[in-house]
Amino acid sequence: MDTGTAMLLMLVLMLAIYLGFVLISKVPSTLHTPLMSELNAISGITLLGAIETTGGSGNSSITYILGVIAIACAAFNVVGGYLVTDRMFKMFTKKGAK
């Protein structure tokens, strides 16, 4: 990795951490469980990395199999995380809003 790329990625990291703190501290404690599961779903973004390495060049059969497992794990996170969060949000209702 050249220094330019590294610095640019560090900049992204820094801004994202800052933004994350600002936004997440505004989430009410009532929603902490779905907040956690939605962010878990977002963490399934590793899926992109898993797809890139599995579909890329130079794979041996071992890296290929490991890649498929990684895709399955990440896909579980994405699908399971978003769906269960959606299920929870549907339960949060205000009086008379039904």
Partner 1 sequence: MIRELIINLSFLFAVFSFITGVKMMSKPDTAEKGNLLSGLGMLVATIATLCQKNIIGGFSGIALGLVLGGVAGVIAARYVKMTSMPEMVALLHGFGGSASLLVGTISFFLMPHSDALTTITIFLAIAVGGITFAGSIIAWAKLRDFSISKPTMLPAHHFFSLIVMLSLIASGVLLCFPQYQVNSTVYMMIALSLLMGLMAVLPIGGADMPVVISLLNAYSGVAVCATGFVIHNYLLIVAGALLGANGTILTRVMCKAMNRSLPNIIFGGFGTKVAAKGGKTGGKVASITVEDAYAILEAANSVVFVPGYGMAVSQAQHAVKELGALLEDKGCDVKYAIHAVAGRMPGHMNVLLAEAGVSYDVLLETDDINPLLEATDVCVVIGANDTVNTSARDDESSSIYGMPIINCDKAKTVIVLKRSMGSGFAGIENPLFFAENTRMLFGDAKATVQALVGEFKE
Distance in Å, CB of 75 to partner 1, minimum? 3
Q: CA-to-CA distance for 73 and 98, rounded, in angstroms? A: 36
Q: CB-based burial of residue 37 (10 Å sphere; 0-12 exposed, 13-18 middle, 19+ buried)?
A: buried
Q: CB-based burial of residue 14 (10 Å sphere; 0-12 exposed, 13-18 middle, 19+ buried)?
A: exposed
Q: Does 4 bind partner 1 (CB under 8 A)?
A: no
Distance in Å, CB of 89 to partner 1, minimum? 4
Kindly write out the interface string for residues 9-38 of this chain, putting x where it contacts partner 1 by CB under 8 A and - elsewhere.
x--xx--xx-xxx-xxxxxxxxxxxxxxxx
Residues between 53 and 92 with contacts to partner 1, criterion CB under 8 A: 53-60, 62-92
Q: Does 6 bind partner 1 (CB under 8 A)?
A: yes
How many of the chain's residues bind partner 1 (CB under 8 A)? 83
Q: Does 52 bind partner 1 (CB under 8 A)?
A: yes
Here the tokens at position 13 are 């990291």
